[in-house]
Each structure stands twice: as C-alpha cells, then as structure tokens.
Amino acid sequence: MRVLICEDSVLLREGLVRLLEDAGHEVVAALADASDLDDTVTETAPDLCILDVRLPPTRTDEGIRAALRLRAADAELPILVLSQYVEERYAADLIAGRGGALGYLLKDRVADVAEFLQTVEQIAGGSTVFDPEVVAQLLSRRTQDDRMQRLTDRESTVLALIAEGKSNQAIAQTLYITEGSVEKHITSVFQKLDLEQDESGNRRVLAALAHIAHSGDSPQAGENR
C-alpha cells in the first residue's frame, strides 16, 4: 500500500513512516504542512492519505480543509484524519460529502500498534472507521434521541443492522423479509433522520453514526454503501 503522510510533528511523522514501512507499506511522501499536499498527491497517487487536522501556518484547520480539497479532486481517495482534536464543522462536511473510505482517529486514543495498522488497511480497503469520541462530539445525544423517536421498531432494527455493516441482502436474510422491504425501511429511516439523498452512499454511514451516538455502541468498520 502506498501512503502519504501530512503531519507537522517531526517525531510523530517519522514514527508513522517507520511503523508503516516496517509493516511492509510504502510511504510515498511525508510532509510537514499542506502547502504542497495537493500537487504531491497528484504526483505520487497514494492509496491512502493520513492527515493531521491542525497544520502550519495557523495550526487551526488546514489539514481537514485540505482533506476536503482532496475529496473534491478525487472522491474515492481513502483518507484517515489522525488528530488530537475533533474539528466539528469541517469534520461534519467531510463525512456528509461525497466520497469513499474515511477514518477519523484521535491520537491520544490510539493505544495499540497492531490495531492501528489494521485500521489503516481497512480504510485503504474501503471501510469507514471513526473513533467513538469523534462520533460523540459530532452527533449530540439529544438531537439524535429526538430523531430516533420517529422510527418504528422495525426501522430501528434495520438501522442497527446497517450500523453492524450488513448489506441489504444480509438484512433481508436476518429479518426474513424481502430486499424490497428492506429498501423501503431504509428509505423511511433516511427521511425520518433528515438525511438528504445523494449518490455516494454516505447517508448510510451517517445513519449508522446516528444509531451509534444514540445507543452508545462503538463504531465498526464495515460496508458504507
């Protein structure tokens, strides 16, 4: 796997390079800021970009805004945001926007190297992975509770299965109903959760995150469309 890193902390940046290379991956670039990020991504064509949120010169939101630019240029580029902070405004835009695999992990909560490497590979392979604390900050429990009360018992069950990463076919088999019925339930869930239609499948991810925030479960890597 070809990985690009954009991280201003030299110790963390070099540590990530060593960690990924020791695991057999190729680090095509390791940048200290986002000034040359877009051009470097075009030149190196990485399979995954790992970005910090706060980068020079202001160290506020350069990294996550760069992630939005990269997504605008290539909607299918897998991105892992690795940061000490949840930048709520742009993080929500990144999740809601059109795009493929996405991860958002908090540095302080990455405690196991093997698990981190597995997560990196999952995201590069097409999964969506969020730290539970990121979910908690992006989706307030009160708002989600209000929306969840709109769902019928069957819709809540379907949503829980979506959050487990199950496909429509798998949900139909689990509940002994037709795929057409599953699609109707999912459409109703989207409407009741106020999730607007798009072509990227991110409504499914957002619905799963809403369920996670409401139930307190940990997010799982899985299908995002």
Q: Which amino acid is at 135?
A: V
Please tell me the CATH code under which domain 2-140 is placed: 3.40.50.2300
Q: Mean pLDDT across the chain, nearest whole number?
A: 85
Rounded to the nearest angstrom, the gap between the alpha carbon of residue 184 and the centroid of all alpha carbons in its chain is 26
- pLDDT class of 41 with cuts at 50, 70, 90: very high
For residue 225, pLDDT over 60 is answered with no
| Distance (Å, whole) CA 171 – CA 183 | 10
Task: Decide: helix, strand or coil at residue 8.
Answer: coil
Cα angle 135, 136, 138 (rounded to 5 degrees) comes to 65
**Cα–Cα distance, 150 to 170 (Å, whole number):** 24
Q: Say yes or no to pLDDT of 136 above 80.
A: no
Q: What is the pTM of this model?
A: 0.65
Kindly list the domain boundaries of the chain, sorted by start residue: 2-140, 145-216
Task: Assign 142 a pLDDT band (cuts: 50, 70, 90).
Answer: very low
Per-residue pLDDT, 137: 73
The class of domain 145-216 in CATH terms is: mainly alpha
User: Cα–Cα distance between 215 and 78 in angstroms, integer?
Assistant: 27
The string of pLDDT tens digits covering residues 66-116 is: 999 998 899 889 999 998 877 776 777 777 666 678 899 999 888 899 999
